Amino acid sequence: MADNSQLLFNLAGDSTLKVQLRGIWRLRGGRPSAALVEHELESARQVRDIAFDTRELTSWDSSVLTFLVEVSELCRQRRIPMNREGLPVGVQKLLALAEAVPERKGARREVTEASFLERVGTDTLGFVGSAKEMLAFLGDMTVTFLALLRMRARYRASDLFLLIQQCGAQALPIVTLISFLVGVILAFVGAVQLKQFGAQIYVADLVGIAMMREMGAMMTGIIMAGRTGAAFAAQIGTMKVTQEVDAFTTAGFSPLEFLVLPRVMALILMMPLLCLYADFVGVIGGAVIGVSMLDLSWITYFNETANAISLTDIFGGIFKASVYGVLIALSGCLRGLQCGNSSSAVGDAATSAVVTGIVAIVMACGIFAVVFYILGI
């Protein structure tokens, strides 16, 4: 078959290795390896130079070039002159172009496998560095908040209202869906167990207390970390890439006041409302199971719920939700401000914001559990 790339060798005279390139040389179809030439050179020691014959080369692309660059490297190592006259003019020119600029010294990165100790050390230093950055950010934010309390902080009220809309009203559908399902799941798990003791009615207590004390705040927090925390990081990260943050800084507007503060405030204000709403929807989810599976009436279910929960439970949940809101906003904004200078860095910032936010929420949840237990709430 003449339409595949072919390589033939013959010795012209004693000392010239004639390499014949035939057929169609296309990257797509693969190409003969330069190792064949090397092999040929090994076996014919008396070769003094290499020439090419391309009269039967039907068509070519970069595959010929990569092959020839390798051959040229082989010739250089063996100090054999490479006669390029037999090559098509285009190939000769491209080859000259590829070899025109010598490799920059030190440009090639040394790929070395770091030892275990080295990696542990680098990671530890990285961790210390990021912990320092986080502390510095928290310190700056505290100062900014004090300025807010003294009415000295500057931000645009219109930004705040827009953010409140984005992380308040627009989050309602997803919060509704998730908390309804959480209520349903809790009720379902409880129903199966409690039915064995004929204590179906306590499903209402279970769902009510669980939603008010923990699940309402927790689920809202996780939804908002994924939804709003990521959005904050992406917004601020993009603003860093487009130098909007630099423009704020040089114009004397603190990015913390103009960008971070309204975001934190929006979540502090909206998280308690969303949490309260999630609590309510969760109870309805539980009631749907109670009524449909356990033959309870709506009235009985709600009376039992009302007896089970106290205002302390509700306020405890709402307080937690505000704290989660602060954590989500801060981790989103911090990751946004740390964002590097490319579009992939914005993606990393958003991912990292969600991870940081959720980790912070779960840790805070654990701390609250201990503190509430000690305080007897």
Chain residues that interact with other proteins, rule: CB under 8 A: 154, 159, 162, 239, 242-244, 246-253
Question: Minimum distance from CB of 168 to other proteins (Å)?
Answer: 18
Q: Which is nearer to other proteins, 145 or 248 (CB)?
A: 248
Nearest Cα to Cα of residue 232 among 261, 274, 269, 254: 261
Q: For residues 361 and 321, what is the distance between their CA atoms, to the nearest angstrom?
A: 9
Q: Could you tell me what percentage of the chain is helix, strand and coil, using 3-state DSSP and rounding each to the nearest 5?
A: 70, 5, 20
Crossing angle of helices 311-337 and 216-224, rounded to 10°: 20
Question: Minimum distance from CB of 68 to other proteins (Å)?
Answer: 27
Sign of CA dihedral 172, 177, 180, 183: negative
Question: Minimum distance from CB of 122 to other proteins (Å)?
Answer: 14
Distance from first CA to last CA of the chain, Å, rounded? 86
Q: For residues 367 and 308, what is the distance between their CA atoms, to the nearest angstrom?
A: 24
Question: Minimum distance from CB of 319 to other proteins (Å)?
Answer: 31
Question: Minimum distance from CB of 14 to other proteins (Å)?
Answer: 44
Q: Which is nearer to other proteins, 114 or 162 (CB)?
A: 162
Q: Which is nearer to other proteins, 81 or 129 (CB)?
A: 129
**Helices and strands of the chain, counted as H and E runs:** 15, 4
Q: Which is nearer to other proteins, 65 or 260 (CB)?
A: 260
Structural contact between residues 228 and 267, judged by C-beta atoms closer than 8 angstroms: yes
Q: Which is nearer to other proteins, 15 or 165 (CB)?
A: 165
Q: Which run of H or of E encompasses 23?
A: strand 16-24
Q: Which is nearer to other proteins, 70 or 159 (CB)?
A: 159
Question: Minimum distance from CB of 62 to other proteins (Å)?
Answer: 26
Q: Nearest 5°: CA angle at 285, between 280 and 291?
A: 120
